A = this chain, B = another copy of it.
Amino acid sequence: MRLGEVGEFNFIDSIARLAGCPAAPVLVGIGDDAAVLDVGSAQKLVVTTDAMVQGVHFRRDWLAPHQIGWRAMAACLSDIAAMGAQPTAVFASVALPADLDSEYALDIVRGLADCARRFDTTLAGGDCTVSPALIFIDTVAIGTSPCPWLRSQARPGDVLMVTGSLGDAAAAVALLSSGRRPDDIPPPLLERFAQPLPRLREASILSARGLVSAALDISDGLVQDAGHMATQSGVAIRLESAAVPISDICRAAAAELGHDPLSWALAGGEDFELLLAVPAHRVAEAQQLLFDHCGTSLTPVGAVASGCGVTVLDADGQQLALDRSGWDHFSSPNKQ
Q: Which residue numbers of A lie inside 8 Å of B, CB to CB?
A: 1-6, 8, 11-12, 14-15, 18-20, 22-23, 25-26, 29-30, 34-35, 37, 39-43, 45, 47-57, 88-89, 91-103, 105-106, 109-110, 113, 116-117, 122-134, 136, 138, 140, 142, 144, 329-332, 334, 336
List chain B residues, Cβ under 8 A from A45.
39, 45, 142
Q: Is the CB of B30 within 8 A of A125?
A: yes
Q: Lowest 5 A-B CB distances belong to which pairs?
A: A4-B98, A138-B138, A41-B41, A35-B125, A51-B93
Q: Contact partner of A106 among B18, B123, B329, CB < 8 A?
A: B18
Given A50-B93, A132-B334, 7 more A-B residue pairs with CB atoms under 8 Å apart are A1-B101, A15-B109, A18-B109, A19-B124, A39-B45, A91-B140, A96-B330
Instruction: State A129–B330 Cα separation when bound (angstroms).
Output: 7
What residue in chain B is nearest A138 (Cβ atoms)?
B138
List chain B residues, Cβ under 8 A from A331.
98
Q: Contact partner of A89 among B3, B35, B105, B336, CB < 8 A?
A: B35
The A contact surface, by secondary structure, is mixed
Instruction: State A226–B128 Cα separation when bound (angstroms).
Output: 20
A26-B89, A35-B91 known; A47 vs B99 contact (CB < 8 Å): no
Q: Is the CB of B100 within 8 A of A138?
A: no
Instruction: State A52–B128 Cα separation when bound (angstroms).
Output: 10
Q: Is the CB of B128 within 8 A of A91?
A: no
List chain B residues, Cβ under 8 A from A105.
3, 11
List chain B residues, Cβ under 8 A from A113.
15, 18-20
Q: Contact partner of A130 among B19, B42, B53, CB < 8 A?
A: B53
CB distance from A284 to the nearest CB of B (A): 35
List chain B residues, Cβ under 8 A from A55.
132
Q: Is the CB of B124 within 8 A of A22?
A: yes
Q: Contact partner of A1 among B3, B5, B39, B102, CB < 8 A?
A: B102
List chain B residues, Cβ under 8 A from A39.
39, 41, 43, 45, 88, 144
CB distance from A193 to the nearest CB of B (A): 17
Q: Is the CB of A128 within 8 A of B37?
A: no
List chain B residues, Cβ under 8 A from A22.
122, 124
CB distance from A35 to the nearest CB of B (A): 4
Instruction: State A336–B140 Cα separation when bound (angstroms).
Output: 28
Q: Contact partner of A49 among B5, B48, B126, B133, CB < 8 A?
A: B126
A18-B106, A51-B93 known; A99 vs B3 contact (CB < 8 Å): yes
